[in-house]
């Protein structure tokens, strides 16, 4: 039956979230209803709230970094049962499409970049509030005490897993760590620069460290992030605001020819170019992790790439999430 519980609802772009009583319908065929125990907050939720997430629709329940316990299952669900602990997946894994079957790919054709996930796959919502239909976000909507998601967007986990920690595997940690390990494939002894030290950027620092990087330059305008970055493996921490010259010139001077791998984990066109220009002019690899506002384009001097650099993006750090 319908569950009444609390959820943080965004009624319109640019407006603060408001905690409301909502109704959560039972799961339909192929869906699961999950009691959310913990949810992280990622900058992507903020992009949605600002109205800058591609195809985001209001009113909506945001949140996409959750872990919880299966409350009930819809018809035909075999992967999980009531009581199982699960992590919700930002990138579904249907296991059947050509991308899911490709071991090199972590992108499922059912993901939000292929078609918006404002509603469940049958194009209806499981949430109502004050008589209005509320949109889902990425099929997850973890800022609710209960949510309904497709079976392909959960991963069953160990019953002993601490949900308040493992929820970060659903997006932020997997993205940053995987960007270093899977997408860049950082080599031992190499040099790295990470732009942006939020949850995702700090996870990229951890990935570089585990991959054996000898130097990890962490870049942020908020120096309050430096202590944590050093604890996790950064060898140098710099703020662009402390220099008159562009930060890419500073990094060139620090390293001689630029770093081997750079990561943009902010979501800003200027820092995307700075990160690209900070890596070695010939063999450097720059990974774009940050998300730009929907519709933003970047003008680049093609010489930045002509000399051999590689510029790549990553979705969820190349992880097959399940």
| Binding range to Zn ion, per CB under 5 A, among 60-68, 93-101, 174-182, 287-295 | 93-101
Q: Which of 64, 56, 170 is nearest to 113 (CA)?
A: 56
Residue 279 DSSP one-character state: B
The answer to whether the CB of 259 falls within 8 A of the CB of 286 is no
Report how far residue 146's alpha carbon sits from residue 127's, in angstroms, rounded to the nearest whole number: 10
- Compare residues 146 and 195 and give the one whose CB is closer to ligand NAD: 195
**Residue 108 beta carbon to ligand NAD: minimum distance, rounded to whole angstroms:** 13
CB of 105 to Zn ion, least distance (A): 9
Give helix then strand counts, H and E, for the chain: 9, 15
Measured from the CB atom, the residue of 243 and 283 that comes closer to ligand NAD is 243
66 lies in the site for ligand NAD, by CB under 6 A: no
Asked if residues 202 and 173 have their Cβ atoms less than 8 Å apart, the reply is no
Selected binder of ligand NAD within 56, 201, 207, 284 (CB under 6 A):
201
Q: What are phi and psi of 194, to 5 degrees?
A: -115, 120
The single residue listed with the structure tokens 């993006």 is: 313
Q: Which of 201, 200, 243 lies closest to 218 in space, CA to CA?
A: 201
Stretch that binds ligand NAD, among 23-31, 153-161, 261-269, 297-305 (CB under 6 A): 261-269
Residue 216 touches ligand NAD, criterion: CB under 6 A: no
Rank residues 97 and 221 by Cβ distance to ligand NAD and give the closer one.
221
Q: Which parts of this chain interact with ligand NAD (CB under 6 A)?
A: 42-44, 47, 171-172, 175, 195-201, 219-222, 225, 240, 265-268, 271, 289-291, 314-316
């Amino acid at each position: 039956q319908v569950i009444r519980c609390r959820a943080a609802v965004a009624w319109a772009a640019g407006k603060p979230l408001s905690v409301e009583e909502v109704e959560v319908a039972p799961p339909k065929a192929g869906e699961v209803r999950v009691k959310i125990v913990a949810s992280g907050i990622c900058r992507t939720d903020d992009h949605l709230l600002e109205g800058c997430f591609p195809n985001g629709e209001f009113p909506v329940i945001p949140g996409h970094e959750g872990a919880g316990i299966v409350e009930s299952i819809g018809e035909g669900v075999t992967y999980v049962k009531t009581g199982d602990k699960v992590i919700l997946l930002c990138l579904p894994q249907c296991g059947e499409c050509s991308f899911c079957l490709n071991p090199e790919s972590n992108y499922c054709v059912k993901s939000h970049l292929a078609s918006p996930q404002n509603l469940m796959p049958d194009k209806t919502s499981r949430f109502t509030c004050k008589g209005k239909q509320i949109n889902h976000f990425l099929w997850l909507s973890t800022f609710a005490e209960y949510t309904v998601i497709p079976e392909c967007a959960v991963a069953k986990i160990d019953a002993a897993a601490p949900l308040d920690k493992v929820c970060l595997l659903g997006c932020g940690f997997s993205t940053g760590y995987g960007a270093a390990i899977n997408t860049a494939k950082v080599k031992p002894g190499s040099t790295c620069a990470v732009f942006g030290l939020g949850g995702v950027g700090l996870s990229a620092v951890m990935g570089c460290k585990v991959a054996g990087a000898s130097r990890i330059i962490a870049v942020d305008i908020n120096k309050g992030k430096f202590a944590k970055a050093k604890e996790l493996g950064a060898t140098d921490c710099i703020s662009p605001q402390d220099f008159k010259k562009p930060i890419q010139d500073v990094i060139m001077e620090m390293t001689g020819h630029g770093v081997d791998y750079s990561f943009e984990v902010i979501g800003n066109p200027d820092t995307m170019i700075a990160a690209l220009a900070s890596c070695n002019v010939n063999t450097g690899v720059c990974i774009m992790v940050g998300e730009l506002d929907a519709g933003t384009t970047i003008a680049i001097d093609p010489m930045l790439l002509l000399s051999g650099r590689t510029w790549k993006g990553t979705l969820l750090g190349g992880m097959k999430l399940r």
